[in-house]
Structure 1
């Protein structure tokens, strides 16, 4: 019975890591587009302010519960969304 719990924990963490990887990588095209074109006119400032806030809280939550998947995914996603937000503030006119 103990091994099944360990196997489930590993499976759950693997699913979390895969989900986090996919949702994190989803931001790469936007980051690349903003920095390549030097334009963020059509990006919603409000959306990215909310997204950065939400991702920051997910990161804090991941740290609080010790979830490697949440910590890894949200650390990288926070950097990517911050890059878009910086691009919006710099090139969003």
Structure 2
């Protein structure tokens, strides 16, 4: 792999895309609060990442596959936590972070 301009931009885009979901997921784990999360937005987000993932698979482009697989998993986790009943949401959050 060469570290040319497009590769560096792609790596930065990957890092930013993945990092953008991490604070929201962690906040949900810590607070168990998803009231302000839009389920509709996350349905579209998960769908978009799943489609980008399929596109990457069809093209055999590992950067697209890896980035969109990770983003799809993070956004699907946020959507799942939004849709779960409170007691199950708490159980998932406690399994991930038992300190609370």
Instruction: Give the TM-score of the pair, scaled to structure 2.
Output: 0.75
Residue 70 of structure 2 corresponds to residue 76 of structure 1 = yes
Residue pair 1:40, 1:87 contacting (<8 A) in 2 also: yes
Regions of 4+ moved over 3 Å: none
Residue 35 of structure 2 corresponds to residue 41 of structure 1 = yes
CA deviation map 1:39-62 (0-9, x unaligned): 101000000000000000000011
CA RMSD of aligned residues (A): 2.1
**Equivalent position of 1:3 in the other structure:** none
Using the alignment, how far apart are the partners of 2:65 and 2:50 within structure 1? Answer: 10
Unmatched 5+ stretches in structure 1: 1-5
Using the alignment, how far apart are the partners of 1:46 and 1:13 within structure 2? Answer: 33
| Pick aligned residue for 2:54 from 33, 36, 60 | 60
Using the alignment, how far apart are the partners of 1:7 and 1:88 within structure 2? Answer: 41
Instruction: Give the TM-score of the pair, scaled to structure 1.
Output: 0.80
Using the alignment, how far apart are the partners of 2:11 and 2:80 within structure 1? Answer: 27
Instruction: Tell which has more relative contact order, 1 or 2 (C-alpha 8 A, sep 6+).
Output: 1
**Equivalent position of 2:91 in the other structure:** none
